[in-house]
Each structure stands twice: as structure tokens, then as C-alpha cells.
Amino acid sequence: MAYQIHLPVFDGPFDLLLHLIQKNEVDIYDIPIADITAQYMDYLAQMEALDLDIASEFLVMAATLLSIKARMLLPKPPPELLEEGEDYDPRLKLVQDLLEYKRIKEAAERLEEFFNDRRQKIARPNDISLYDGMFAEQNPLQGKTLADLTAAFVPVWQRAKEAERVHTIKRESVSIGMMTNRLLDKLRQKPEGVKFSALFDETAGRLQVIVGFMALLELVKVSAIKVRQEQPDDDIYIIPHDLRTAVLAE
């Protein structure tokens, strides 16, 4: 018998994140972003390996996690740039969104329990005489046939069909090795450095940007490049350091 893999189905990226946090038994207010990001990307890799469609919202969350992970590696802003009483934590917005999602999910579960409980009960029949005054004496549908109803339904159905639009999205074939080579080509052409904002073409899709950012982190990890920013809010420059070590990142 063939070996089969079954992945749990999640309603969205926040549902998956909440599952990972509960599975690892970590404090939602102090998320170990590196571990959670690695497990999140591993789940997406399994979906891709099984040839499952990955919704764009999952890819957006992947980019958000990578961005938070990168910001946590950078030094904290100096106190004079923070507002009074502000605690700089790149995870704060994500934690707030997760708590809001958790509250809504728990409320939905309670409503579902209430619905399941109520449908097991039969309500006492109403006294029809109480509603007699709410209806006209003459039935407005009297004399109408099934053919009349069908004729009224056809234009409504036609409008609904025309409103439906089916879009076929072509899956991008992108790998870390391919994006690494693209970044290296740009850096070899401009040894003085490249603006971070200029690393990706305007036509690059979300998947290219995410995988390209992962390739960039790998190049930083093996010391093939350096990241420089002179002043806060200045442009970030990517500068070649030792591109020979980039072989390890491919």
C-alpha cells in the first residue's frame, strides 16, 4: 500500500500560527519567532511538495514572519527615537492580531455549541392567528405557475453567471538557489552596493520576493554580503563582502 501524508487543514494563516503556538506550549506574548517561523515555512513546504495550492494570505504571513525575524536580529532603535513609554518589539502587532483572532475563534466555537444545542430542541408551535394581520387577504402569488417562477429566475441566474469570473493563476517556479544567483549577478555588476529596494524587479511576484528575501538572509549568514544603513530611515544598501562563500547558500 502506498504511503500517504495527510496535512491538517487550517482556516487561514492565523489559525496555523495559533496551532503552532499551542503545540509548542509557548507564551503568546513572548513568541519564539525563529522557531515558529521555521515550522510555518516547513508546513508551506509540505503543502508545496503535495502539490496543494497555497493561498496568498499564507504567503503574506510568511513574509511578515520573515520581516519580524530580520528586525529582531537588528539592534534596537536608540531610546530618543521611541515615544515615551514605548516598548520596541517587532512582534507586538502580530501578537495583537493573534489575540483578536483567538477571541473571535472562541466566540465562533461558543456560537456553534449553542447552535448544536438548540437544533436538538423543538420549539412550541406558534398560534397562527397571531400573524393573520401581517398578510394581505389576497395572495399576491395566486394564479402564478412554475413557468412564471422559472421565467423570473432565468435573468437572475444569467446575471449571477456573468458576475462570476474564473482566474487561472500560474504557479511561479522559484527556488532559493535561483534567487541567490540573481542577487549575486546584480552584486557582481555593482560592487559598490545595491539599494535593498532595487534588488527586486517591479514585476516580481510575492513568491519571488519571499524566496529572494530568504536567499538574502542566507547570504548574510555565510558573510557573502553586508547590510549597511548610515542613519535611521536612510536607504538600506546591500554590499558584496566575500561572494566566494555564497556557494554555501545555494
Q: Return per-residue pLDDT of the chain as tens, 250 residues.
A: 333 444 566 778 888 888 888 888 888 888 888 888 888 888 888 877 765 666 788 888 888 888 888 888 877 777 666 666 556 778 888 888 889 988 998 998 899 998 888 888 776 666 766 666 666 667 666 777 777 777 777 777 777 777 666 656 666 677 778 888 888 888 788 878 787 777 777 777 777 778 878 887 888 888 788 887 777 777 777 888 776 665 544 4
| Residue 187 in domain | yes
Q: Which domain holds residue 96?
A: 13-73+88-100
Place of cell 515615551: 84
| Residue 226 in domain | yes
Number of folded domains in the chain?
Answer: 2
| Residue 170 in domain | no
| Residue 188 in domain | yes
Q: Return left, alpha or beta for 167; rule: phi > 0 is left, psi -120 to 50 is alpha, else beta.
A: beta
Each residue's pLDDT tens digit, 189-212: 887 878 777 777 777 777 777 887
Task: Yes or no: say if 57 and 210 are a contact pair by the CB < 8 Å rule.
Answer: no
Tell me how far apart the alpha carbons of residues 111 and 135 are, in angstroms, rounded to a whole number: 33
The residues facing 239 across adjacent strands are: 226
| Residue 106 in domain | no
CATH classification at residue 204: 1.10.10.580
| Residue 34 in domain | yes
| Residue 107 in domain | no
The CA-based dihedral angle spanning residues 53, 57, 63, 64, taken in that order and rounded to the nearest 10 degrees:
-150
Q: In what order do the strands lie in the sheet with 225-228?
A: 194-195, 237-240, 225-228
| Residue 233 in domain | yes
* φ/ψ of residue 88, rounded to 5: -70, 115
